[in-house]
Chains A and B, each alone.
Chain A
Amino acid sequence: MIPPTFDYLVPATLPEAIALLHEHGDEAKVLAGGHSLIPAMRLRFAEPSHLIDISHIPGLDYVREEGGFLKIGTMAREVVLEDLPWISERYPLLVDTTKMIADPQVRNLATVGGNLAHGDPANDHPATMLAYRAEIEITGASGARTVPIDEFFTDFFTTALEHGEILTEIRIPIPPARSGGCYLKVERKVGDYAAAAVAVQLSLAADGSIEQAGIGLTNVAALPTRAVDAENALRGQQPSDALFAQAGQLAADASSPADDLRGSAEYKLTLIRELIQRALRRSVERAQGRS
């Protein structure tokens, strides 16, 4: 209930924040939305010595299309994605995902950046960013570097972020025409983590076949998981129920969920097989609606 003591620092700029992280070492943590960190601190699962609050640094909360990408600043709150009508139109997978995170109050403060930086395979955005083939910009003392999403999640609760680095931007390649996506999540109740969830983003060629497909899976392994074989099976094919069923099976094969209070691993594999098919159907419908 009551967090342990820590020192609180409010840098005015990004370089200052990075310098503070270096100065205070491993036990210093970034405070952005705080909705992964503060609950952990209240249960004393996390006891950082310093919190570096980056929420007052101006210019980190943008959401805009530029240079072929949808660029999301690290302090962009989840709710912004829900509220911008053009996001709903052009990035339905992203909005589907946001809406499934926690509840309205949490979404007012939680950030997209934080949802990724935490490295939790049970969070919802990792799978979605995999499906979008996003890029992550990381800024450290020596400047910014870009990490493809496939290299961002390295281990259980571990990302490519080194200590002293801050996730500063998420870049989603602007989908071509005839694109659609969908996030489907089975949860025990609103606000829960997924028993299983799938993120699908695809685009269709002029002849209606699937040109590109991205599939990310939530909470089915120690890392957010890309269903590579399923993606490959879809590429170049005409959409069909049989094709979707095959993709569902391949996605399940790529998963190794754990038994937990939500259900057994086998149960979750069934969900993945079924959710993939539904998500593919919906994504194709949306892609066709856009052309």
Chain B
Amino acid sequence: MIMCKTSKEIGGMGHSLKRKEDARFIRGLGKYTDDVQLPGMLYMDIARSPFAYAKIKSIDKSVAMEIPGVLAVITGEDLKQYNLHWMPTLMSDTQMVLPTDTVMYQAQEVAAVIATDRYIAADAVQALENSIEYESMKPLIDPHKALDADAPLLRPDKEGRTDNHIWHWQTGDQEATEQAFDEADVVVKEQVYIPRIHVASIETCGCVASYEKAEGKLTVWMTTQAPHAIRTVIALVAGHVGLSEERIRVISPDIGGGFGGKVPVYPGYVIAIAASFLIGKPVKWIEDRSENLQADSFARDYHMTVELASTKEGKMTGLRIKTLADHGYTDAAANPSKFPSGLFSIVTGSYDIPTAFTEMDAVYTNKPPGGVAYRCSFRVTEAVHAIERITDVLAQKLGRDPADLRFQNFIQKDQFPYRSALGWEYDSGDYAPALRKAMDMVGYEELRKEQAEKRARGELMGIGISSFTEIVGAGPSKDFDILGIKMFDSAEVRIHPTGKAIARFGTKSQGQGHETTYAQILAEELGIPAMHIQIEEGDTDTAPYGLGTYASRSTPTAGAAAAKAAHKIRDKARKIAAYLLEVSEEDLEWEPGKFFVKGAPERSKTIQDIAFAAYTNHPQGMEAGLEATHYYDPPNLTFPFGSYICVMDIDPKTAEMKIRRFVAIDDCGNIINPMIVTGQIHGGLAMGIAPAMYEELIYDDDGNILNGTFMDYLLPTSVETPNWETGHTITPSPHHPLGAKGVAESPTVGAPPAVANAVVDALSHLGVTHVDIPVTPFKVWKILKEKGVIS
């Protein structure tokens, strides 16, 4: 039960306010990038490589140029003249905008056409693709072969590089962990592979780049989750041709889902900007779904060897993980720069493990570059999958109930703030009640009885638990930056004379409901009704600098900035109120929306009175106006957590699987808007079961993608998706001004192991200890066949 400090009319924290942004979306009046139409606008389309690894022998522009309405064909050689053919990635590697000699993955951008019409551009691309000659080479597809002596050297452009190894990263106490393993009663080990997947938001990526020659100004509407960072990157990459930062405006309009896929700078953006710059007309580029799936940054692709050591009583004593990370042909991951494998080191999870060591090696292959964080705060899905899977493996080995084993090993409430063996200080947590609540909600003991009865009859059902700890809210400036830009975030709040307000942020919602939730934060702190506060994001000309929205960071950073800005405003408001009421500041008390005199509450001034006075009757010597800006540097990350339980039924003859129930208990600290939080959880759960059962980008040995459309890259529909049963515990963050933690990615992180654990649990009596996701009916059929259940 959430107790709200403000009334429903004010609508502060805890109220399930209906969303302000809905008004345009339910009428089809949202403005997404492809909705932008400008006079004289041209269309760009991209010719792509059919080969995973090939030399470009020749490009004949003439056939395409002959088509009426085609204005230009742009190749790598053209961009080279402006030194724009390569660009930096967010991980300080380099990526081709367009190649000059070699293509490195199937569907790579090879040349672009600019035409007066979308349809003509498509015809031109077909003509162009038919007139490009390649000499194909044997690609490197298997990352395990990337360091073989006979592997092709994929990045000869990188000085001093003699192999396909990108970097090695490790953390933890290697020696102490080795010792723990040597001394352990029990050690379990599994190979855990999380394949490539794609965020596949319903809106694909694109931009409209509009360079106005007379003004020398570039405006780009772009599907980007981080408009300011993009603006700075463009200035760094193209500053030498005259696009300096004050001449660039990036606008993130409405975005149809981001999930991390709209963080990178894709070659298409850069080509469109270059084209507009050279031609002086607006250029629109919107990718097809096929292009989106086949060429944009993937997520995951981690091959992990996971080991857990324990006493025979079940107390975990050590964790050791070795990972091979397949980054495609360049490291275009979207991680904070000091963390090439993101926040993977959260991998000790919810458990009190005294020592741990994890190392990873990243390699190049002939596949699209990446990886982005598919709704998971930088590799946390991989980490949580590893620890939650191996915990179940340990439970199975010891013959222990997996819930029981978790209770035994949870970090206890009194251990917080807790320093993990891999160096994170968890701010707060209380894991046992969340698991207990999930077990009660699902009827755990009854389900175990049912499972035993079914097993005796040859029926298959499984119960899978996942008790995860997430790490979000990147991040404190001492450790977190992207390309050197610190990961603070910002809020700029201005109150108008009539007591209404406008606030702008450095983040950018792609459906998270910021227009409502930020208003609720300000309503909480200022007592101005949320409906009177206008929220804006995404226009770099007007919004304060921020690092954007991904990794569940908005509430922890910009939300905190809003609270801090509101406090600054309240400080000034107090002075004005004291002046108006002719008392000293110490004589005043605050309740949401007004200052009143202690002991004489009828003598008060509302925030609206004060706002008016700030422009009409403020004290001498004080600046007019009532506004504040705050750039918030979070002191720590936040650590939302939860316990999920998945109940799975498996048809023992066809191996078809159905999620019977999915219970999710989440703890994201104090809740801003329960309706929005629950919506986020539902969506995150759907994006959790999807990779667990349906999603996987599949390549053959020649690097051909076998499922690059929605026909075969499978997103669950409403029929495959179960009814979500959700609940909460609330353990506020001690360091966040609102006690809030961020939540949208927890379910994507926590759900896959619950599903995988359920399937393994259903088959554990057959001796199965592990199945990689996606757990498909075919995979399960193979197991049932192998174990003789299916003849």
Contact = CB atoms under 8 A, between A and B. Distances in A.
Direct A–B touching in the complex (beta carbon < 8 Å)?
yes
A79 to B, nearest CB: 18
Interface residues of B, number: 28
Given A4-B123, A189-B694, A189-B720, A264 B714 contact: no
Contacts of A44: 126
B694 A261 contact: no
B712 interface: yes
Contact of B654 (A186, A190, A264, A266): A186
A263 interface: yes
Contacts of A267: 778, 781-782
A263 B777 contact: yes
B717 A263 contact: no
A1 B710 CA distance: 13
Interface in A165-202: 186, 188-192, 195
Given A261-B706, A263-B777, A274-B654, A190 B288 contact: no
A224 B706 CA distance: 24
B18 interface: no
Interface string A244-268: 0000000000000000011110110
A200 to B, nearest CB: 16
Given A188-B776, A189-B714, A262-B778, A2 B118 contact: yes
B707 interface: yes
A271 interface: yes
Interface string B757-791: 00000000000000000001110011001000010
- Interface on chain B toward A: helix, strand, loop, or mixed SS? loop
Contacts of A263: 776-778, 781
B122 interface: yes
A232 interface: no
Given A186-B656, A188-B776, A191-B717, A1 B122 contact: yes
Contacts of B782: 267
B666 to A, nearest CB: 27
B790 A188 contact: no
B716 interface: yes
B34 to A, nearest CB: 12
Q: What's the interface size class on A, roughly?
A: 20 to 34
Given A1-B122, A189-B717, A261 B777 contact: no
A270 interface: yes
B89 to A, nearest CB: 28
A189 B716 contact: yes
B716 A261 contact: no
B719 interface: yes
A274 B653 contact: yes
A271 B714 contact: no
A188 B653 CA distance: 16
Contacts of A266: 785
Given A44-B126, A267-B778, A274-B653, A190 B712 contact: no
Contact of B694 (A5, A188, A262, A270): A188
Which one of A189, A190, A266 has the highest number of Cβ atoms from chain B below 10 Å of its Cβ? A189
A261 B698 contact: yes
Interface in A1-42: 1-2, 4-5
Given A2-B119, A263-B781, A264-B778, A190 B126 contact: no
Interface in B708-727: 711-712, 714, 716-717, 719-720
Interface in B681-737: 694, 698, 706-707, 711-712, 714, 716-717, 719-720
Nearest to A39: B711
25 contacts: A2-B119, A4-B126, A5-B123, A103-B717, A186-B654, A186-B656, A188-B694, A188-B776, A189-B694, A189-B716, A189-B717, A190-B720, A192-B711, A192-B714, A195-B777, A262-B778, A263-B777, A266-B785, A267-B778, A267-B782, A270-B654, A270-B785, A270-B790, A274-B653, A274-B654
Given A263-B781, A271-B654, 11 more contacts: A1-B122, A1-B288, A2-B118, A2-B122, A5-B123, A188-B694, A189-B719, A190-B717, A195-B778, A264-B778, A274-B653
